[in-house]
Amino acid sequence: MKKLLLLLLIVPMVSFGQSSFKSSKGTFDYVNGVRYRVIFDEDLDIDSQVIKINSKVAQVSYPMTSAKMVVDKKDGRTRITVTEFSIGDVTGPVLNGTTGGSTEYYEMDNRVWNEKRQKFKGAFVKNYSKKIEKSILQAVDRLIKNTESGDDW
């Protein structure tokens, strides 16, 4: 009985970490890095590609520049998965005492993910995720408008 009681007390604390959460349109989760997914109930005429992130909109302590977008289609619906968020040129101290130059996408993960607690940092959930989502959706909207313009070059 004591073991059962102890187990019931420990399980909620272990599973309390927030490794995924819903945003206004999609979902952020952490699977070998930050991942954003959104599903559209229509077949969007866009392809998988690297998208430009508006650094003024989606700044997470450092200016973001791009991310990898994968487009999947099924039954007239489109799922967009965005990973590998890149941080642009940064001058001065970056992370772990290194300085300057282009940084890799995993450094954005270090800014928003608490590895020890296995959950997203509060500021990311409350603020930064909304900015990143807005920039992603703006990029998707630009791609849709570009394909609708009829330019087949």
Q: How far is CA 53 from CA 6, 39, 119, in A?
A: 47, 19, 24
Give this prediction's pTM. Answer: 0.75
Q: Specify the pLDDT at position 89.
A: 57
Torsion of CA 127, 24, 148, 64, to 10 degrees: 20
Q: What does the alpha-carbon distance between residue 141 and residue 118 come to, in Å, rounded to a whole number?
A: 33
Q: Which long-range contacts (CB under 8 A, 24 or more apart) does 123-128 make?
A: 124/60, 125/18, 125/21, 128/58, 128/60
Residue 82, beta-bridge partner list: 36, 69
Distance, CA of 29 to chain centre: 7
Q: Specify the pLDDT at position 88.
A: 66
Q: Specify the pLDDT at position 2.
A: 58
pLDDT in tens, the chain (153 residues): 655 544 455 544 444 446 899 999 999 999 888 999 999 999 999 999 999 887 676 666 667 788 999 999 999 999 999 998 887 655 444 444 444 444 444 467 877 889 899 999 998 898 888 888 999 999 999 999 887 766 666
